[in-house]
Structure 1
Amino acid sequence: MSKLQLSIAVGNYDRIRPLVDGEIQIEGVDPVFMLQDPEEIFFRAFRHADFDICELSLSSYSVKTAAGTSPYIAVPVFPSRAFRHSSIYVRTDRGINRPEDLKGKRIGVPEYQLTANVWVRLFLEEEYGVKPSDVTWVRGGYEDPTRVEKIMLNLPSDVRLENAPEGKTISSLLADGEIDAVIGPRAPSCFDPGHPQVKYLFDDPHQAAADWYARTKLFPIMHTLGVRKTLAESHPWLPGALTKAFEKSKALALARLSDTAATKVTLPFVEDHLRAARKLMGTDFWSYGFSANEHAINRFLDRHFAEGLSSRRLEARELFHPATLESFAI
């Protein structure tokens, strides 16, 4: 039997490289990898279903799954996870010294329904009492004013969502003081050069996230891996083969990261960060698989439905191909 030649669009992560470099094989598949930024992958996946297999925004995928319109079915592989306490950028001249001070402010977002923003709104409300209806949301591209929301939204009536003025970006609005804050997965361009009036909301986002994890045991899932439904139906072995291969690839990347004889990434003290992550979160801190992540997925889906983003409260199992919900044991 000849192997399936399939397109696979993912980010260029260390946990993916063993697959891209051919060190780990996907059983029955001759992959054509396309390493792209998430924004390009998601736009092409949800507008045109361009890829056979691809990284998917957890939020956009949940919207589509609830509506019954997703061309993809996911496997419990999570190429991107991130704590999002570093995703809130504020003006220093608006009296925003703590999360509660965001009430009544104008906050820019590249898209309202982005996964990162769902997680941020979750902890802002649960930890600090800041509800989505407490602020005015201004939607626009970070650096390109033509960026649009990929998914049609039906938000609660008390949520105020405006479009950025024509020709304006949310980065420029923040730099010019026309909005008070930005929430999103990337830093606005005015932040990195050190704009004198733009800073993180949390003075120490790392510590704030670690404290939150210690209380909640939540390591936010950003992206999952989708396979075109028609492929999964024609080749029922494929979802399991993908899950197995991506797990092996991640394990190899972590083994290399643990080898301190020669640092594998261009960052000093990486071994200290790895040790601290394992002390806080356990050895398998970046877990794949359904059972290990059911808690985080359910918390996300609760929030997603409460915000009016998904049309019904999804069951966690609905997101994933049935063959990937359990695995064999010896």
Structure 2
Amino acid sequence: MPKLRLSFAIGDYDRTRPLIDGTVQIDGVDPVFMTLDPEEIFFRAFRHAEFDVCEQSLSSFTVKTALGQSAYVGIPAFVSRAFRHTSIYVRKGRGIARPEDLKGRRVGVPEYQLTACVWARALLKDDYGVEARDIVWVRGGIEQPGRAEKIALDLPEGIRLEDAPEGRSLSDLLLDGEIDAIVTPRAPSCYDRGDERVEWLFADPTAAATDYYERTGIFPIMHVVGLRNSLAADHPWLPAAILKAFTQAKAVAERRLSDTSATKVTLPFVEEQLHAARQLMGDDYWPYGVDRSRTTLQSFLTHHHQQGLSSRLITVEDLFHPATLEAHKI
């Protein structure tokens, strides 16, 4: 039987590269890989369902799944995870010294429903009592004006969401003092340039995230993998095969990272950071599969619904193909 020829759209990460370069094979599949930025993958996937298999924004995927409109079924390979204490940038000189100071402020977001924004609002609410209704949200492109939501939203009453002025980016608005902060998965260029008028809300985001993990056990999930529904229906073996391959690719990346004879990433103190991560989170600090991420997923789904983004409170099982919810053991 010939292998299935399928299109894959994923980011070029150490944990996906063994798939892209062929080190890890996918059972029964002849893949065509496209390595693209998340913004392009998500736009094309959620607007036109262009890919057979692709990285998916957890938030956008949850919106679509709750509505029963998703073209994809989820595979619990969490190719992007990140603590979002680094995602909140503030304008200096505005009297914002702590998260509670964001109440009543104007805060930019690239899209209201972005996964990073969901997690940031969740930690602001749970840890600091800052509700989404306490903030005026300003939606716009981080660097390019005119960015719109990929998915139409029906937000709850009391949520104040405005569009950025025509021709203005969030980075420019922050520098000009027309907004007080930005919540974004990408650092605004004004921060990357080292502009002294912009800083992180959390002075030591690593310490804040470590405390958050120790209290909650949550390592926020950003992206999952989606498989076209029709392919899952026609080939019931395919979801498990894809999860198996992504899991094997992550294992290859972890072995390479652990080989400290020559550092595999262009960053100092990798060995020390790897040791710290294992001390805090265990040897499998970036787990795939549902079992060890259930608490994280349930927290996300609860907040997503409370924020008015999912039309109903869905379960973890609603997100993922049944064949990926458990695995064989030897």
Task: Report the TM range for the smaller structure's normalisation.
Answer: over 0.9
TM-score by length of structure 1 reads: 0.99
- Alignment of 1:249 with 2:257, yes or no, is no
| Structure 2 CA distance for aligned equivalents of residues 242 and 255 of structure 1 | 20
**What is residue 139 of structure 2 aligned with on the other side?**
139
Does residue 291 of structure 1 match 2:291?
yes
The answer on 1:155 being equivalent to 2:155 is yes
Residue matched to 1:260: 260
* Deviation of the 1:91 alpha carbon: 0.7
Q: In the alignment, what sits opposite 1:82? A: 82
The 5 A counterparts of 1:112-191 are: 112-191=112-191
Specify the alignment match of 1:203 in structure 2.
203
Indicate the SS of the match to 1:90. strand
Deviation at 1:146, TM superposition (A): 2.1
Which SS does the other structure have where 1:14 is aligned? coil
Aligned positions of 1:61-80 closer than 5 A: 61-80=61-80
Report the alpha carbon displacement of residue 294 of structure 1 after superposing the two structures with TM: 1.0
- Aligned to 2:84, what secondary structure does the other structure show? coil
State the 1:144 CA deviation: 1.3
Pairwise CA RMSD: 0.6
Q: Distance in 1 between matches of 2:92 and 2:14?
A: 36
Runs of 4+ in 1 over 4 A off after TM superposition: none
How do 1:270-309 residues align onto structure 2 when only pairs under 5 Å count?
270-309=270-309
Matched with 1:47 is 47
Cα distance per residue 1:101-122 (max 9 Å; x no partner): 0011000000000000100100
Q: Distance in 1 between matches of 2:118 and 2:98?
A: 19
User: For 1:260-285, what per-residue CA distance to the aligned partner results, in whole angstroms no more than 9, with x for missing partners?
Assistant: 10110101110100000000011111
Alignment pair present for 1:230 and 2:226? no
Determine the C-alpha separation between the residues in 2 that align with 1:256 and 1:4.
29
Amino acid in structure 1 at the alignment position of 2:137: W
- How far residue 187 of structure 1 moved from its aligned partner, in angstroms, is 0.7
Equivalent pairs, count: 330
Alpha-carbon separation, structure 2, partners of 1:321 and 1:145: 37
For structure 2, list consecutive stretches of 5 or more residues without a partner in the other structure. Answer: none
Shift of 1:208: 0.7
Distance in 2 (alpha carbons) for counterparts of 1:110 and 1:224: 20
Aligned counterparts of 1:290 and 1:95: Cα–Cα separation in 2: 42
One-letter amino acid of the counterpart of residue 296, structure 1: T
Q: Distance in 2 between matches of 1:119 and 1:100?
A: 16
